[in-house]
Structure 1
């Protein structure tokens, strides 16, 4: 681990390779697990504001879940997350013609209906950020459903930090990312 500004960063994001392989995993990260996507406080208001424009892109099950639970939920631990459909799929998940799970929010973004791509935690994946009072921890989240992504990343020679460059800049800024690249060169 190393410190970069007010972040503590795992060396794994520099050393390990990763490129999403949707044809292999079918977007399993959006439908597996036991929780919705983590949300920042400001993202909850964004979800409320954009929901009318995102709704036409969603499945009936997702709309039902959102209208029953809200555009986001607060867990017993006080964490903010996207709601789930029957404790499984993210309520915002949609499927393409090949049964690949995609983000309905991102589809609305791609179609020019909204200017917000998706929750930053989704955009950053496989990086997870834990915010503490004095710093943020930036870690690689290893999940076996992403083994194919690790293999593809290794085959293509793309380290995690390069794969999620846009998301890291979105979260921490251009200067932070440039400093990260300098650290990466020394590895």
Structure 2
């Protein structure tokens, strides 16, 4: 682990390799699990504000889940998440004609209907950020359904931090990412000695 500003970063972001392989996993990360996508507080209002523009991109099951539960839910622990369809996939999930999970929010973004791409937790995946009072922990989340992404990342030699570059910049800023790259170079040089 190393510190960068108010973040503590796992070296797995540098050492592990990852590139989503949607042809292999079919977007299982949007379907599997027991909870919706984690949301940040400011994203709750954004989802409420953009719902009418995102709704045409969603499946009927997703619309029904959102209209029953709201555009977000709050768990018993106070965590904010996207709602699920019958306790399964995220309510915002759509599927391509090849059966690959997509995101209705991102579909609306790509169509120019909204300026919000998708929740930052989704954009950052497989990186997870845990906020504490004085710092944020930035970790790589290993999930067996992403084994094919690890294989492809190794094949293409793409470290996790480069795979999620845009999302890290969106979350922490360009300056933070530039500093991260400097730290990576320093670590690589010290390993080569």
Measured against the shorter chain, the TM-score band is over 0.9
Counterparts of 1:138 and 1:37, CA distance in 2: 17
Distance in 2, Cα, partners of 1:126 & 1:183: 20
For the residue of structure 1 that corresponds to 2:158, the secondary structure is coil
2: distance between equivalents of 1:121 and 1:74? 16
Q: Which residue of 2 aligns with 1:42?
A: 42
Give the secondary structure class of the aligned counterpart of 1:128: strand
Alignment RMSD, CA only?
0.4
In structure 2, the residue matched to 1:162 is 162
Q: Distance in 2 between matches of 1:58 and 1:133?
A: 36
**2:86 aligned with 1:98, yes or no?**
no
Distance (whole Å) between structure 2 residues aligned to residue 184 and residue 37 of structure 1: 29
SS of the equivalent of 2:137 reads strand
Q: CA deviation at 1:105?
A: 0.2
Kindly report which structure 2 residues correspond to 1:23-34, keeping only aligned pairs within 5 A, or say none.
23-34=23-34
Gaps of 5+ in 1: none
CA distance in 2, matches of 1:15, 1:175: 22
- Scaled by the length of structure 1, what TM-score is found? 0.99
Match of 2:117 in 1: 117
Q: In the alignment, which residue of structure 2 is the partner of 1:152?
A: 152
Q: Any stretches of 5+ residues in structure 2 without a counterpart?
A: 189-193
Deviation at 1:185, TM superposition (A): 1.1
- 3-state secondary structure, aligned to 1:94: strand
